[in-house]
Amino acid sequence: DSGVTQTPKHLITATGQRVTLRCSPRSGDLSVYWYQQSLDQGLQFLIQYYNGEERAKGNILERFSAQQFPDLHSELNLSSLELGDSALYFCASSAGALESYEQYFGPGTRLTVT
Amino acid sequence: GDSVTQMEGPVTLSEEAFLTINCTYTATGYPSLFWYVQYPGEGLQLLLKATKADDKGSNKGFEATYRKETTSFHLEKGSVQVSDSAVYFCALSLPRDDKIIFGKGTRLHILP
């Protein structure tokens, strides 16, 4: 158990809909990262937050957005969903802002868009 | 741009065989290098890391040496077990970019 929790575990929704994925980092960790894992694209970094502020952006679509709240949990919002958004979404946390800190991954949320 | 290339899988070995999973990288500057492992149904876990040239990372019988001259970080294990079956990801990070770049992953199957 990494100490990172993600909810829900599974999500099935229709095209055009909007969903919110939630992540609680390990106790004391200030950084949260979101990743998308799909069969064809592999593991893609989406976005990082550090202590409530956006720190780094990767291959995140404009239809996607995220935020980190004062209690340090984070939410990833996916809107106007398309079939191609079906993937595993992982959250990870680390102690600090720099990537040299070890990242701890949650179990993931499996999103299926039908 | 910065990237990680690792051997495509799946790799299938018998128990107690020697394992090598190749990983090479392209980066400007001096990256830190990592191997992560993803067991079925779980998130990624850091397996080992090396932060400078000639460093050797090791954990659970796995080893990898940071080779700057060949820009490689190959993962090795002398005697694999069925429980090592998983997907292995090579990755690099550069502090200036504040992100980790992952390879596509190599699926490993160990047969009893």
- Angle (nearest 5°) at CA A68 between B51 and A107: 65
Report pLDDT for A38: 87
Look at the block and give the residue holding tokens 């659970």: B60
Q: What is the mean pLDDT of residues B74-80?
A: 97
Mean pLDDT per 10-residue run, chain A (114 residues)? 93 97 95 89 88 90 96 97 96 76 88 97
Q: Can you state the percent helix, strand and coil of chain B, rounding each to 5?
A: 5, 55, 45
Q: Can you read off the two tokens belonging to residue B29?
A: 């500057």
Query: Which of B24, B59, B49 has its CA nearest to residue A99?
Result: B49
The reported pLDDT for the residue numbered A26 is 95
pLDDT on residue A97? 63
**Chosen from B99, B101, B106, B107 to mutate, greatest number of chain A CBs within 10 A:** B99
Interface of B with A (CB under 8 A): 32, 41-46, 49, 51, 89, 93-95, 97-105
Give CA A19 to chain center in angstroms. Answer: 12
Alpha carbons B3 and B21: distance in angstroms, whole number: 17
Instruction: For chain B, state the CA radius of gyration.
Output: 13
Residue A98's pLDDT is 61
Tell me what pLDDT residue A100 has.
58
Residue B42: predicted pLDDT? 85
